[in-house]
Each structure stands twice: as C-alpha cells, then as structure tokens.
A = this chain, B = another copy of it.
Amino acid sequence: MNQNRNVNRQITLNSRPHGAPTLSNFNLVESAIPEAGEGEILLRTIYLSLDPYMRGRMNDAKSYAPPVALGEVMVGGSICRVEVSNHQGFEQGDLVVAFSGWQDYSVSNGEGVIKLDSAMENPSYGLGVLGMPGLTAYMGLMDIGQPKKGETLVVAAATGAVGSLVGQIGKLQGCKVVGIAGSKEKCDYAVRELGFDACLNHNDADLESQLATVCSNGIDIYFENVGGKVFNTVLPLLNSKARVPLCGLIAQYNATDLPEGPDRMGLLMGNLLVKRIKMQGFIVFDDYGHRYDEFQQAMVPWLMSGQIKYKEDKVSGLENASAAFIGLLQGENFGKLVVQVGPEHLD
C-alpha cells in the first residue's frame, strides 16, 4: 500500500482481452493528483471492489453499460475518504462509497457518491455484504426467486460475494440450500460456516449424479451466477414453476466464440415452457437501487446477530489488482475480493 500523496497511480485498459484477460491487458500509469473544482470533491481510494461484471466492460461490445475505452482507467466501486471538498454535501474526512475506479485519487461532482458512517468498523463491507453484492443477493433471491419454506435452493459460486449471501438468506427463509463451488475447501466452508445443507464441488466428475441425489425433490430456485456446465447439470432437475434469477454467467465471460453445437437454445425454451419456469435477468442498481433501505433493514440485524456470516478476500496494493482480477475469473478468490489501495486513515 505505497499510496503516495504526490502521485496518482491508475490502472488503465491497455488492450482488449481475447478470451481470458492477461496482465498485458492492463497498464499501471502514474499521473498528477487531480484537483477538485467548484462543486467537486477529491476522493482517496481505500478499498477497490473487484467483481466479475468488469470483464464485460473490457469488451468493445454494446451492453447495459458502455465499455471502458482503451487507455481509460478501469471502472469499479470503491470506499474512499474525501480529501478535499468544494461540495456542500461533503466534508473533508467523510467516508463514502463511490464508483471511482482502479486508482488512488479521483474527482467527483458527488453524483452517486453515498456517505457512510465515518467511524464504520469494516468500511469494506460497503463493497460487499452491505453494498452491491448484498443488495444483489437479497433482491435477486427475494424478489425474483420468491423462496418458500421447504423449497430447494441451489446456488452456484457458493462462497463468492453474492452466492454466500444468497445461500444464507435462503436458509433464513426456510429453504434447503445446496451450494456448488470450485474446491473441497470452499464446500466445507459453505456447510460448516455458512450453514448450507450441502455443497458440491463442480470439478467432481460425478457432479450430475451427486446433485440429483442431494436434490431428491428437484430444484425450485436456481440462483445463477455461473452458466456453462453447472447450468447444464441443474437444468434437468428444475421443478415445475421453478424460478431462475439470472445474476451472472462467469463461465462464459471469457468465451470468444459460441460453443459447438447442437444448438440448445430451443431446448432451453422448451424446458421453460413445459416446466413453466421463470428465468429473469437483473442488474441490481438499475432494478433495485431504490430498495436499498429495505435491504439494509433486513441485512444489518442479520449481520450484527451473526445470522449472516461474511468473508472477505483482501488483496493489498493497487499494483496487485490486475492479477487478483484475473484470478477472480478463474475462481481463485475465497470470499468477496477487495483490494486495499490505501490506509483507512492517514497519519
């Protein structure tokens, strides 16, 4: 964390990845610390959130958000301190959640910047359990998934930022919760620490038969973070009237071409039709940003009482963000991945 008060380190998009990103797609550059103009604030980044959706922004493709331009700073949510304020709504020293990207310093007009309690114990939680991933888990499960007591909920990426919360919230709603994760260690954690009823390793050759055995009454809700072979395994087990909140498809983010045939698009639609399944994509801020308070009122007590547990995977130093992000897409993180860019308080 060699944050310097004279230099602004930035990680920019050097080139667009073809398939999985490599370190050469990123560039660490240094520039002058920007100045806050009239009505603006200067932010110093403490924590940077790394999330799978960022892979999409590295492509030059039309999506719900514009791509990052070549040479531009990579986008991302962050926890920051206000260093200088020329804005009525903020004071120097304020702790905020911002969308300031992969850099030490940034200037904002205050739009979309949310103040936190300055003495908050774990400010990085604002990027996870109390932030975007938490809201995603809560709204995707509660609003689209509509869990009912006794139903079977399967969640992929079970120890990830979103999946770990989906499963725990599902338990609190009385569901039988089955996780799918990428290692025995993660699965053990999901069952022992998070209270999942079961957790399967998607690298096991017999995942299909294991899942069918564990989900002996079928699957009522599948919270989709992954796609690919995990979805292939889940699809035949979905019950009539199942709900599939579509939150992410990390298994296909690095794909450069469509997979080989046969073409199963009609097969998927046929399954949705015959089993009367609802599959629904959502983007949390656009669809549920206005319901943040409702989420917080549920989540804060769960977190304080220990009913919801939360694990972070903290990487130190902005210079390590690119490698950590590449690892995230391979499932190497264990818990919510955040980069500590600078100290919480300056001396």
Contact = CB atoms under 8 A, between A and B. Distances in A.
Interface in A237-287: 240-241, 246-249, 252, 255, 257-270, 272-283, 286-287
Interface in A178-203: none
A305 interface: no
Contacts of A275: 64, 281
Nearest to A64: B274
Nearest to A63: B274
Interface residues of A, number: 43
A150 interface: no
Given A246-B269, A258-B267, A276 B64 contact: yes
Contacts of A281: 272-278
B258 A270 contact: no
A228 B266 contact: yes
Nearest to A268: B265
A261 B267 CA distance: 12
Interface string A75-107: 000000000000000000000000000000000
A227 interface: yes
A259 B249 contact: no
A266 B56 CA distance: 15
Contact of A263 (B249, B258, B277, B283): B258
A224 B269 CA distance: 10
A206 to B, nearest CB: 23
A196 B56 CA distance: 39
Interface of A: 56, 63-64, 224, 227-228, 231, 240-241, 246-249, 252, 255, 257-270, 272-283, 286-287
